Amino acid sequence: MCAHSYHAHRPSRESDVEDSKAELRWGVEQRLEFIEFRLFWEGRVNRSDLMDQFGVSVNQASADLNRYIGLAPDNMVYDKSARTYVRTPVFAAHFSEPDASKYLAQLHSVADGILDRDDAWITELPPFASAPTPVRGVNPATLRSVVGAIRRSEAIEVKYQSLSRPEPSWRWIAPHAIAFDGFRWHTRAFCETDECFKDFLLSRMLKIRGSRESGVSAGADRDWHTEVTLEIAPHPDLSETQAKVIALDYGMRGGKAKIKVRRALLYYALRRLGLDTDPAARRPQDQQIILLNPEAVLEYDNGPQTASNTARTTTSPGLQAAKKNGLPH
């Protein structure tokens, strides 16, 4: 089919695909998404790929490929010499929009041993390495107890080692959520000792010895349920071309990007973005971005005290407010 006729008929074909997708069983649709994933990222797919990935028969794999051809006939053709289906120049995704972040996340998971190599949809892993981070020692039994308490709306008694105290102590907390700051896993919980919501590092929970019904509502955690929008832009002292590449790095539009973050996680977000210190303290090439709306952070300065008072001081606008709402206990 020529390019002209392809584009002329594409709207009706997309409608047919949407109608057909609605009728597909989940397992079939997942295999069709797999075919599309392999075509986009690897440029080819064959029956053995489906058989190896999903454990289906030869006949089922052939049926899946034929079904995909029926729904998206212009996306692949059979290469007799290579004995495989290959992507066409007019390929257009129908079942799953290509997403670089998902591909890289899968690559990261395989490389870190989180995802088994045989379970990955990537055929050939490219050479990969990442900056090492310390392994956080979260006890699986501890995590199970915390997740169970969240599901049952219970409080649990934990022996917790806080850095604000020399020795661990027992306390009752009512967890309602799990959070990740980019390096460590926390639970967001109401602390009955301090009578406020705080972050508790899972790795600092040394023992758990009891549970009981909690009378605290998760909806009362204002910092968790309130979002702050950070507006960032390239550092004004970067050259025009440097600013453009930073805009691409952060997915900016019109020279800025908006990032929504829970107020409880604001401190971590500012730190990860390099906005936890005065931008003037670093070279523009190192700082790279600035916060356009520091007032959006400062307006939360009257929020409840929910963090340890041992945090380091800084002149960065709004970081004192962020500390109060996010630093782990």
pLDDT of residue 315: 39
State the pTM of this model. 0.71
The distance from CA 132 to its chain's CA centroid, rounded to whole angstroms, is 19
In this predicted structure, which of 11-15, 21-25, 228-232 has the lowest mean pLDDT? 11-15
Share of the chain above pLDDT 90, in %: 65
pLDDT tens digits for range 71-93: 999 999 999 999 999 999 999 99
pLDDT tens digits for range 194-223: 999 999 999 999 999 999 999 999 999 999
pLDDT of residue 311: 28
- Asked whether the predicted pLDDT for residue 100 surpasses 70, the reply is yes
pLDDT tens digits for range 45-54: 999 999 999 9
Q: What mean pLDDT is predicted for residues 6-32?
A: 58
**Confidence tier at 319 by pLDDT (50, 70, 90):** low
pLDDT of residue 169: 95
pLDDT of residue 10: 39
Q: What is the mean pLDDT of the chain?
A: 85
- Asked whether the predicted pLDDT for residue 312 surpasses 80, the reply is no
- Asked whether the predicted pLDDT for residue 190 surpasses 50, the reply is yes
- Asked whether the predicted pLDDT for residue 179 surpasses 70, the reply is yes
pLDDT of residue 34: 96
Share of the chain above pLDDT 70, in %: 82
- Asked whether the predicted pLDDT for residue 302 surpasses 90, the reply is no
**Confidence tier at 324 by pLDDT (50, 70, 90):** low
pLDDT tens digits for range 123-164: 888 888 877 776 668 999 999 999 999 999 999 999 999 988
**Confidence tier at 280 by pLDDT (50, 70, 90):** confident
In this predicted structure, which of 31-40, 279-288, 293-302 has the lowest mean pLDDT? 293-302
pLDDT of residue 297: 82
pLDDT tens digits for range 217-264: 999 999 999 999 999 999 999 999 999 999 999 999 999 999 999 999
pLDDT of residue 9: 39
Q: Are 70 and 103 in contact (CB under 8 A)?
A: no
